Amino acid sequence: MEKVLDVREMVPRDRHARIFELYRSLKPGESFTLVNDHEPKPLLYQFQAEHDGEFDWWTLEAGPEAWRVSIVKRERPNPDITITDYLQTDHRRLDTIFEGFKAAVKESRWEDAARGFREFSLGLKRHIRIEEDILFPVFEEKTGMRDAGPTFVMRMEHKEIQALLDRILGATDGHDAAGAEAGSSNLLGILLDHNMKEEHILYPESDAFITGSERAMVIKKAQAA
Binding site for Fe ion (CB under 5 A): 131, 198
CB of 161 to Fe ion, least distance (A): 8
Alpha-carbon distance 93 to 85, whole Å? 12
Alpha-carbon distance 127 to 91, whole Å? 9
> What is the chain's length?
225
Residue closer to Fe ion (CB basis): 23 or 120: 120
The separation between the first and the last C-alpha atoms of the chain, rounded to the nearest angstrom, is 27
Residue closer to Fe ion (CB basis): 196 or 208: 196
Residue closer to Fe ion (CB basis): 67 or 98: 98
CB of 87 to Fe ion, least distance (A): 5
Dihedral sign for Cα atoms in the order 206, 209, 213, 218: negative
Residue closer to Fe ion (CB basis): 119 or 198: 198
CB of 183 to Fe ion, least distance (A): 18
3-state secondary structure of 165: helix
CB of 140 to Fe ion, least distance (A): 14
- Residues 6+ positions from 118 with CB-CB distance below 8 Å: 61, 169
